[in-house]
Amino acid sequence: MLTRLAQPPLRRLRVALDATPLLGTRTGAGVFTFGALEVLAEHAAIEVAAYVPTWRGRGATTLALPLGVRRTRTRLVRGVDVMHGTNLAPPRTRWAARVITVHDLAPLRFPELVTRETRPHVRRLRRAIAAGATVHTLSAFVAREVVALLGADPARVVTVAPGVPPVAAGNPAAGRRMAGADRYILALGTVEPRKDHAALVRAFDRLAARHDDVNLVVAGADGWAVDTFGEEVRRARHGHRVVRIGYLDEAGRSALLRGASVFALPARYEGFGFAPLEAMEAGVPVIATEVGSLPEVLGEAALLVPRDDDRALNEGLVRLLDDDALQTRLMKAGRNRLSRYSWKACADGLAELYARAASSS
């Protein structure tokens, strides 16, 4: 009688992710990086570590990583199978496959909407793609742009959507106190030209006289050209009802989300869009511009209006403030939409992407 020998367990794939987006003010890239690290740390097929290139992490003594994720130095990552650049191309190595997350191609599509410092990233991205790196995108829209504008091989461009950051229970009353009104329109995110908060101020100013109980709240860190937003507020007849709040902690963010009447994202270009999904999770109806990935990500769960159309944005805001049936429909659709975005599914998709990249390296 033959004895069946036990099969040795499969070795977990060793992956190192660039944690640079977790330094400083956390943007969408940081939200993705933290969420991915957190779920990959629990994935049965992955052994994950975080690294920060010395030229970007110089002077960074603390790095807030999820539980179960260790930090490693770039020069010590020789033992990994995959290097994942979560926002920029990872260092080139002879022993590991390279994966790059491309959040958007704003420096190429709309160079006037980004700082000059970000434009060289496209050249580095082109070189990495030419050298055989696998590209990861959060939306199919960006994947198509990477193929069309950078000439990437479609077989090496993979879309894996992220989950949605959990919105804490929060206190709606605290949000209303911060807003200075019982009803308010909320915009969350870095104040920069790409988000077009100036257009939101103009649209709000048109409705403010008719809705004298509504304020506009713009919360988030100052980006470049923030003066443009400030000038628009100063020109507005109802600028005193525009409440500017800086970068928020989790409690403040959740309070503002829970108390808002409408969430607005009047972006001129967007590669994914975490904030409107967070608004949906908080039960807030969403209005956004019909640009970039937003139709794909938000679908029928948001009221979409054309870009650079202040009148359409104003009319959409008025509808959401006045039409209870529309609010209810969008909130219900928003709850259904969230089922498309799961961090567990993201971890499974990334694990499959890493395995493909490692096997073809």
What CATH number corresponds to the domain at position 17?
A: 3.40.50.2000
The answer as to whether 1 is a domain residue is no
> Do 27 and 159 share a domain, yes or no?
yes
> Do 118 and 189 share a domain, yes or no?
no
The answer as to whether 2 is a domain residue is no
> Do 120 and 219 share a domain, yes or no?
no
> Do 44 and 182 share a domain, yes or no?
no
Q: In the prediction, which pLDDT does 55 show?
A: 56
> Do 196 and 308 share a domain, yes or no?
yes
Helices (H), the chain: 28-40, 54-57, 106-109, 120-130, 140-150, 172-179, 197-208, 226-235, 250-259, 274-281, 294-298, 310-322, 324-337, 343-360
Q: In the prediction, which pLDDT does 103 show?
A: 96
> Do 141 and 198 share a domain, yes or no?
no
Mean pLDDT split into 10-residue runs, the chain, 361 residues: 45 92 88 96 94 64 78 70 92 88 93 78 91 96 97 96 92 96 96 93 95 96 87 96 92 95 96 96 97 97 96 97 96 96 97 94 69
> Do 318 and 254 share a domain, yes or no?
yes
> Do 107 and 238 share a domain, yes or no?
no
pTM higher than 0.85: yes
- Whole-Å CA distances, 128 to 36, 134, 308, 313, 339: 22, 9, 34, 40, 34
> Do 158 and 139 share a domain, yes or no?
yes
> Do 335 and 210 share a domain, yes or no?
yes
Q: In angstroms, rounded to a whole number, what is the distance separating the alpha carbons of residues 322 and 266?
A: 19
Count of domains forming the chain: 2
Q: In the prediction, which pLDDT does 2 show?
A: 41
> Do 26 and 137 share a domain, yes or no?
yes
Bridge partners for 262 per DSSP: 185
> Do 109 and 257 share a domain, yes or no?
no
The answer as to whether 286 is a domain residue is yes
The answer as to whether 8 is a domain residue is no
Q: In what order do the strands lie in the sheet with 242-245?
A: 242-245, 214-219, 183-188, 262-265, 286-289, 303-305
Say if residues 186 and 217 touch (Cβ distance below 8 Å). Answer: yes
Q: In the prediction, which pLDDT does 287 show?
A: 98
Q: In the prediction, which pLDDT does 75 show?
A: 56
The answer as to whether 4 is a domain residue is no
Rg, Å, the chain Cα set: 22
Sign of the torsion angle spanned by Cα atoms 140, 145, 150, 151: positive
Q: In the prediction, which pLDDT does 11 show?
A: 77
Sign of the torsion angle spanned by Cα atoms 193, 196, 199, 205: negative
> Which domain does 246 fall in, by range?
172-340
The answer as to whether 225 is a domain residue is yes
